[in-house]
Amino acid sequence: MAVQTAETAPPAAANPVLGPAFKDALIVGLIALGLFGPLIGFETVIIDGALGLAYRPSLLAIMVGIIFFGRLLLNLTLWSPNRKPSTHTGPTLFDRAGTVMGPGVKPALLAFAVLFPAIAIFSLGGLNESRYLIDLGILILTYVMLGWGLNIVVGLAGLLDLGYVAFYAVGAYTYALLATSAPINDFFAGLFGATFWANWAFWICLPMAGIFAGVWGMILGFPVLRLRGDYLAIVTLAFGEIIRLVLINWVDFTNGGAGIASIPRATFFGIPFNAGPDGFAALFGLPFSPMHRIIFLYFVILALALLTAFVTVRLRRLPVGRAWEALREDEIACRSLGINTTTTKLSAFATGAMFGGFAGCFFAVRAGFVSPESFTFDVSAMILAIVVLGGMGSQIGVAVAAAVMMGGMEMLRNLGFLKQVFGNDFDPSLYRMLIFGFAMVAIMVWKPRGLVSTRDPTIFLKERKAVSGDLVKEGHG
């Protein structure tokens, strides 16, 4: 009823806004009070070894107050019946910015990524001072790569995969197990010298980790891909958890929850980054610094990420890539055109898994330590969030989303100012995920199809026209 009167009434001045808005905010505030009362108002404390209750009325008041005034503010502004609904569809600011800057964006971002270590070193005035920023850069690029890998499965083929972290884990453990294996080390020691395996393990295992993860993608994909939609999502989620549980419980093989430590570090194509006479610094006549390895790792992950992007862009223009997208659009039509949907889905799953495996191998060599703790569902959720936020199927959108999300998560670690609002015993880092969640919801309301919602056609006759996101389907399975 309320909606109807709002629609039929002349828009200006006729609606009393303040009264209903206040009433609505009051009701919502009361609901919040009811909900938060038990949740926030009480706190369990241990008094002399016994469990007791403490009360937090001020925190409760602050929370309910935020809800009440927030709702009131929204009622008076965004949700006000007098406000003309904005009927803005089609390309958004971000899309238009993309088309205007179009050809310039990608080279500019690439140049920035390549020059990033130099910029970090010069702006922070030294190798060691830049460590934090370059580490962050490595983290972001790892997630860019993972996002691009998952994008093949979710964005192009439209298969909702909630267990992508499984392939990341397979890649990491492939490297960790092979590189620390004594028999392999002895074998190569007999052939090429004692330090051969430690120096070359990463470069030999990197392709193997990718291939292994790809094979695992096929093995997992085969029984799973006849499922669609929600079922597929749940089963992939389960597979992600199963792999992690196997890693925890198969102690003889994986060393269980304790993880695998002292994994050989990355080398400059066989030259170790150490202070010795055969080390990188000595050979290149530089003063030794542990930062050389970090900067090198940055360029390794940059190269891996670019490889992922390059292969994806190429594949999209090949029949297999078009079949992936056609599968996302309409599976039945695909079958009526002679496309074997099972092998097409498997190829998408395996290709995505392969890049996850590369990234996992890189993760293991960077950290020098792997344990099942690093491969929880959180990671899958994060990668999926990056893909969805970036705009499914868009390379540049995913890269920007990864930078925003990972960079944003880091920034949220420094929420010291909240202490001034809530008092000194308030731990702001606990609220990181909450704020993060709010940001996600806000972005999904504002841009439901992700940052880049248009689709770039893979072939054209006369003119390349972007396809509006409204027409592009998300896929059903």
Binding interface with other proteins (CB under 8 A): 311, 314-315, 317-320, 322-323, 325-326, 328-330, 332-341, 455, 457-465, 467-468, 471-473
Q: How far is the CB of 207 from other proteins (least distance, A)?
A: 15
Q: 399 with 109: CB under 8 angstroms?
A: yes
Q: What is the per-residue burial (b if ≥16 Cβ within 10 Å, else e) of 68-94?
A: beebbeebbeeeebeeeeeeeeebbeb
Strand partners, 43: 54
Q: How far is the CB of 344 from other proteins (least distance, A)?
A: 9
Q: How far is the CB of 470 from other proteins (least distance, A)?
A: 8
What the block records as the tokens of 379 is: 């990671």
CB closer to other proteins, 254 vs 344: 344
Q: How far is the CB of 387 from other proteins (least distance, A)?
A: 17
Q: How far is the CB of 453 from other proteins (least distance, A)?
A: 11
What the block records as the tokens of 104 is: 């310039």
Spatial distance between the Cα atoms of 384 and 434, rounded to a whole number of angstroms: 18
CB closer to other proteins, 83 vs 314: 314
CB closer to other proteins, 258 vs 467: 467
Q: What is the per-residue burial (b if ≥16 Cβ within 10 Å, else e) of 254-275?
A: bbeeebbeebbbbbbeeebbbe
CB closer to other proteins, 305 vs 326: 326
Q: How far is the CB of 156 from other proteins (least distance, A)?
A: 11
Q: How far is the CB of 348 from other proteins (least distance, A)?
A: 12
Q: How far is the CB of 435 from other proteins (least distance, A)?
A: 34
Spatial distance between the Cα atoms of 412 and 430, rounded to a whole number of angstroms: 10
Spatial distance between the Cα atoms of 311 and 219, rounded to a whole number of angstroms: 22
Spatial distance between the Cα atoms of 345 and 338, rounded to a whole number of angstroms: 14
Round the CA-based radius of gyration of the chain to a whole number and report it: 26
CB closer to other proteins, 281 vs 339: 339
What the block records as the tokens of 323 is: 């079949």
CB closer to other proteins, 134 vs 452: 452
Q: How far is the CB of 321 from other proteins (least distance, A)?
A: 8
CB closer to other proteins, 309 vs 326: 326
CB closer to other proteins, 186 vs 470: 470
Q: 355 with 144: CB under 8 angstroms?
A: no
What the block records as the tokens of 93 is: 């600011």
Residue 200: closest CA among 210, 213, 187, 214: 187
At 128, the amino acid letter reads N
CB closer to other proteins, 419 vs 465: 465
Please name the residue that has the structure tokens 């998408």.
Answer: 348
Contacts of 78 (CB under 8 A, 6+ apart): none
